């Protein structure tokens, strides 16, 4: 039974959010050393705001996992699992404990790291709150599952949005991210904002010029790489029907620009907040344009390539090319023009989405 649960609720979960886990492993496992993790954990335990922020992140992860699991149980192919409704609460908890541990391995590993650091800095109170919080999450998770299985299998219904009854085409990808890639968008935004904050911290600390911020924006753009891969996959697979409906070029530019602008809104807001002084307005303008252009260019590069291997090679070359442009002090306006060209070329066909 455990093997069946594992294949159904664990492997399916990790496969659905593969981009999120690859991004997390790449950033926190490859680009960061253990001593950096220990330093961050110590700061989190010493700062109450940081500690409760981590608990909030854990809660968001758990919510996304449970939401995915419930949607899985609502699928007609998983109707057989509603027979688990005959289990008592202790039986269900005992059978689903391995599933819960596997799906929450990421936050459990980090909780063990926080515990190791917390013992050294004598943060026993916060460690108690942390593990009580995890136990509470588990009990709430199993309780929600228990009451869900006790209910009759839901009939298929068409749910119309309460506010946006006629959702424009420009927002379809954003809705796809919200419904199916919640963890991915949360991870990308968290890492991107954290990364940009770090670049601003060192910039205002002195010794760096504008090229440092430009390099930070380039790194933040590549953090969004999984999102642009997902956008291309969503359009090529789920929106392939629209290739038979030619769309005017200006309309296509608008339809692609709107979701990109909404996705990058947190970074644009942070840039204005951190660098929005009156004397920096001209530089701020070009940096805002650079943020949009870098991400548009990366998306265009993905769209122009027909397989993932070519996409990866092209993205590596593009990163080092843009890095050299930044290092040699090429004006952000010129870099922006170079970046936006692949995007404009990639949507030139009337029969592409």
SS (H, E, C) 33-58: CHHHHHHHHHHHHHCHHHHHHHHHHH
- Residue 138 burial (C-beta neighbours within 10 Å; 0-12, 13-18, 19+): middle
What integer pLDDT is reported at residue 30 of this predicted model? 66
What integer pLDDT is reported at residue 162 of this predicted model? 47
Torsion of CA 270, 272, 277, 282, to 10 degrees: 130
Indicate whether 293 pLDDT > 90: yes
Q: What is the pLDDT of residues 146-203, one digit of tens each?
A: 888 877 765 554 545 444 456 777 888 888 888 778 778 888 888 888 888 888 888 8
Indicate whether 18 pLDDT > 60: yes
Contact assessment for residue 230 and residue 183, using Cβ atoms and an 8 Å cutoff: no
Indicate whether 280 pLDDT > 90: no
Q: In b/e form, how buried is each residue of 234-255, taking b as 16+ CB within 10 angstroms? A: bbeeeeeeeeeeebeeeebeeb
Contact assessment for residue 176 and residue 234, using Cβ atoms and an 8 Å cutoff: yes
Could you give the CA distance from residue 143 to residue 148 in angstroms, rounded to a whole number? 8
Confidence of residue 244 (pLDDT cuts 50, 70, 90): low
What integer pLDDT is reported at residue 158 of this predicted model? 53
Percent of the chain topping pLDDT 70: 90
Structure-token pair, residue 29: 């496992």
Q: What is the pLDDT of residues 227-238, one digit of tens each?
A: 888 888 888 877
What integer pLDDT is reported at residue 108 of this predicted model? 92
Average pLDDT over residues 330-342: 91
Could you give the CA distance from residue 225 to residue 298 in angstroms, rounded to a whole number? 7
What integer pLDDT is reported at residue 132 of this predicted model? 93
Contact assessment for residue 184 and residue 177, using Cβ atoms and an 8 Å cutoff: yes
Whole-number average pLDDT of the chain = 83
Contact assessment for residue 315 and residue 298, using Cβ atoms and an 8 Å cutoff: yes
What integer pLDDT is reported at residue 163 of this predicted model? 43
Percent of the chain topping pLDDT 90: 13
Find tokens 């002090």 and name the residue.
329
Structure-token pair, residue 232: 């291309």
What integer pLDDT is reported at residue 133 of this predicted model? 93
Q: What is the pLDDT of residues 81-109, one digit of tens each?
A: 777 778 888 888 888 888 899 999 989 99
What integer pLDDT is reported at residue 164 of this predicted model? 45
What integer pLDDT is reported at residue 131 of this predicted model? 92
Could you give the CA distance from residue 191 to residue 173 in angstroms, rounded to a whole number? 21
Could you give the CA distance from residue 178 to residue 193 in angstroms, rounded to a whole number? 19
Look up the pTM and report it: 0.67
Could you give the CA distance from residue 278 to residue 314 in angstroms, rounded to a whole number? 38
Could you give the CA distance from residue 41 to residue 33 in angstroms, rounded to a whole number? 13
Torsion of CA 322, 327, 329, 330, to 10 degrees: -10
Structure-token pair, residue 233: 């996959």
Indicate whether 135 pLDDT > 90: yes
15-24, 40-49, 235-244, 331-340, range with greatest mean pLDDT:
331-340
Indicate whether 17 pLDDT > 50: yes
Could you give the CA distance from residue 217 to residue 229 in angstroms, rounded to a whole number? 19
Confidence of residue 290 (pLDDT cuts 50, 70, 90): very high
Ordered by start, the domain boundaries in the chain are 2-150, 169-346
What integer pLDDT is reported at residue 284 of this predicted model? 86
What integer pLDDT is reported at residue 334 of this predicted model? 92
Dihedral sign for Cα 147, 150, 152, 154, please. Answer: positive
How many CB atoms within 10 Å of residue 122? 9
């Amino acid at each position: 039974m455990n093997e069946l649960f594992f294949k159904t609720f664990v492997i399916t979960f990790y496969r659905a959010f593969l981009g999120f886990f690859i991004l997390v492993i790449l950033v926190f496992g490859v680009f960061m050393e253990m001593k950096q993790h220990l330093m961050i954990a110590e700061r989190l335990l010493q700062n109450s705001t940081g500690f409760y922020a981590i608990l909030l992140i854990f809660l968001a992860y758990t919510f996304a996992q449970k939401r995915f699991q419930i949607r899985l149980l609502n699928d007609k192919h998983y109707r057989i699992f509603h027979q688990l409704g005959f289990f008592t609460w202790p039986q269900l908890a005992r059978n689903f404990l391995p599933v819960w541990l596997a799906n929450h391995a990421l936050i459990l590993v980090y909780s063990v790291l926080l515990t190791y650091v917390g013992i050294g800095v004598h943060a026993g109170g916060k460690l108690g709150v942390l593990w009580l919080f995890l136990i509470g999450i588990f009990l709430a998770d199993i309780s929600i599952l228990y009451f869900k299985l006790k209910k009759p299998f839901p009939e298929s219904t068409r749910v119309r949005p309460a506010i946006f009854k006629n959702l424009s085409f420009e927002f379809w990808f954003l809705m796809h991210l919200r419904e199916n890639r919640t963890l991915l968008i949360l991870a990308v935004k968290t890492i991107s904002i954290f990364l940009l904050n770090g670049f601003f911290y060192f910039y205002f600390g002195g010794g760096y010029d504008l090229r440092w911020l430009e390099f930070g924006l380039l790194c933040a753009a590549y953090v969004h790489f999984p999102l642009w891969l997902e956008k291309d996959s969503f359009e090529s697979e789920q929106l392939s029907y629209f290739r038979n409906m030619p769309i005017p070029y200006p309309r296509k530019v608008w339809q692609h620009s709107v979701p990109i602008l909404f996705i990058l809104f947190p970074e644009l807001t942070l840039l204005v907040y951190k660098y929005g002084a009156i004397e920096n307005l001209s530089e701020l303008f070009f940096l805002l344009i650079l943020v949009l252009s870098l991400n548009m260019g990366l998306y265009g590069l993905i769209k122009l390539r027909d397989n993932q291997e070519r996409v990866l090679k092209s993205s590596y070359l593009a990163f080092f090319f843009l890095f050299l442009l930044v290092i040699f002090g090429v004006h952000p306006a010129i870099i922006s023009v170079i970046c936006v060209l692949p995007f404009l070329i990639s949507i030139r066909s009337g029969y592409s989405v």
